[in-house]
Amino acid sequence: MDNTLCCFSDGYNAFGRPDPAIYEVDHLVTFDVSPKLGVKNHKDGMERLKHMELTSGVWTMRHLLSIDDREIVITEKATRKELECFPISRVLDPVNITTSDLQEIYNNIIIFIVQNENSKNAAEMHIFQCIGKPVSETFR
């Protein structure tokens, strides 16, 4: 079954909703957000990511990240299989990180925290690197 929505030239799909923005990204890492684990915000997440790069390495996976006014959907690029879907109401603190430093390997970064639907205290931080277009065009 093809899950592609019929798109019209006005930017809306067959259901009268705006077409989602779709971005090619590399999934870098997902962390549990917890003061006990030392990850409370995007700065902690980036520090931990850079520490992983130096110690155990970071293994990326290419995905498609789809954003609309209702949800963020993560899809495996090769198979088009939906991996995760997060209602926008559970997405906290979205951050774009860009730099002009050509030596920085983690540029064009998207970070957001997803609150667990069963607990207000449990959350995950997702870190992606946007491919092919500036991250400033991704989250606003």
Contacts from 92-100 at CB under 8 Å and sequence distance 24+? 92/123, 93/41, 93/42, 94/139, 95/42, 95/139, 96/135, 96/136, 96/138, 96/139, 97/42, 97/46, 97/135, 98/134, 98/135, 98/136
Cβ atoms of residues 127 and 59 within 8 Å: no
Q: How many other β-carbons are positioned within 10 Å of the β-carbon of residue 7?
A: 11
1 in a domain, yes or no? Answer: no
Question: Would you say residue 10 lies in a domain?
Answer: no
Q: Tell me the C-alpha distance between 62 and 8, whole Å.
A: 28
What integer pLDDT is reported at residue 103 of this predicted model? Answer: 83
CATH assignment of the domain containing 116: 2.30.29.30
| DSSP run (H or E) holding 17 | none
Which pLDDT score is estimated for 138? 56
66 located within any domain: yes
Q: What's the total number of domains in the chain?
A: 1
* Average pLDDT along the chain, 140 residues, taken 10 residues at a time: 35 52 91 86 92 90 90 93 94 88 87 86 90 69
Query: pTM for the full model?
Result: 0.81
**Is there a domain that residue 5 lies in?**
no
Domain that holds residue 119: 21-135
Query: Does 28 reside within a domain?
Result: yes
26 within a domain of the structure (yes/no): yes
